[in-house]
Amino acid sequence: MVKTINRHSPKITTLADGTDALLHMTDLVGEEDGPLIGISASIHGNENCGSQAILDLYRRLKDMRLRGTIRLLPVVNARAMVVNARFSPIDQRDLNREFPGDPAGTFSQQLAAALTREFLGKIDMHIDLHSGTDRPTVDYVYLLNDEGLSRAFGSKILYRPDDTKQGTKFSGTTKDVTVERGVPAAVIELGGGIVDQGPYIERIVEGVLNMLRHAGAIDEEATPPPAQIVVNEIAGIRPTKGGWIEPLSPPLGDELAPHQPLFRVVSPYNFEVLEEAKSPFERGIMIMGHLTRNIVEAGDYGWMVGNLDGATS
């Protein structure tokens, strides 16, 4: 049993309907002193696998002996989650490009500022849960500033972003606050798609529990990670035309033949093949894709392929 469970819901701002926008956090306070570990999900409102995993983590963790405190923030972007959208409908901004935020800015900028003040600026370790949406499915973990923590999740593929190549493309994410503070941070990308999410949610729960063992919050030996592949380059391949999408790719984590076909887009109206997309690499590995036939819009999120040239273990 944890020592105490504390709930607190700091206010972000007042909304036009008169209600308060709040951050709902639950602290599981362990019997022994230790670090404050923050676990968050649904920064992007249409990626709710992590939020569901945090519910299951709460059910498991509340009966465990813990060292330190685990702060659960299951739904960061509630306004976006309830309409299953990536961005808040109030200002349509990408919250995960707005950190550290602006208390005098738009709603998402204020939300980012509240997160920095109430969560990211206080915790000693951060685990942020992202996923695919109700369309593509994704499976990898970012390697940021704590390799052991990220590896302990147990995913096959890890991604070490090459900051010299990415430039400022991903500035304004949570790591602008956590890594800047020297706080160990891990970003998980797992789940999504029009398939049963149960197995992905279970993998997130087991992976995060193992990270907590690795961090010493749970007094059990961490399971060593499986054989892992670290890629430094990921190509995102979106359908450039709308229509029926027909997946041609192998399962996530599988290696791809040189320029292997990934998907085709077919017109629902005259049945023509509008587009066929291939892996851009000689040696690629599947990181994200649609697992089922579906309708897509031009430019929707599609596939991600890792480059195995230059990859390490």
Question: Which spans of this chain sit near Zn ion (rule: CB under 5 A)?
Answer: 44, 47, 130
User: At its nearest, how many Å lie between Zn ion and the CB of residue 141?
Assistant: 13
User: At its nearest, how many Å lie between Zn ion and the CB of residue 44?
Assistant: 4
* Rg of the chain in Å (alpha carbons): 20
> Under the phi-then-psi rule, with left for phi > 0, alpha for psi from -120 to 50, and beta for the rest, what region is 21?
beta
For 38, 71, 76, 174, the CA distances from 100, given in Å and listed in that order, are 16, 19, 14, 8
For 130, 154, 157, 299, 303, the CA distances from 188, given in Å and listed in that order, are 6, 11, 11, 24, 17
The smaller minimum CB distance to Zn ion, of residues 130 and 175, is found at 130
The smaller minimum CB distance to Zn ion, of residues 130 and 214, is found at 130
User: At its nearest, how many Å lie between Zn ion and the CB of residue 130?
Assistant: 3
Name the residue with tokens 């996530």. Answer: 252
User: At its nearest, how many Å lie between Zn ion and the CB of residue 149?
Assistant: 19
User: At its nearest, how many Å lie between Zn ion and the CB of residue 174?
Assistant: 10
For 33, 37, 93, 154, the CA distances from 77, given in Å and listed in that order, are 30, 19, 11, 27
Residue nearest to Zn ion (CB): 130
The smaller minimum CB distance to Zn ion, of residues 27 and 300, is found at 300
- Provide the residue type at 278 as one letter: K
What are the phi and psi torsion angles at 232 (to 5°)? -105, -5
User: At its nearest, how many Å lie between Zn ion and the CB of residue 158?
Assistant: 17
The smaller minimum CB distance to Zn ion, of residues 27 and 94, is found at 94
The smaller minimum CB distance to Zn ion, of residues 120 and 218, is found at 120
3-state secondary structure of 170: coil
The smaller minimum CB distance to Zn ion, of residues 4 and 92, is found at 92
Distance CA 48, CA 301 (A): 16
What is the largest distance, in Å, between two alpha-carbon atoms of the chain? 66
Distance CA 269, CA 86 (A): 29
User: At its nearest, how many Å lie between Zn ion and the CB of residue 288?
Assistant: 11
- Side-chain half-sphere exposure of 289, counting CA atoms within 13 A: 26
The smaller minimum CB distance to Zn ion, of residues 44 and 214, is found at 44
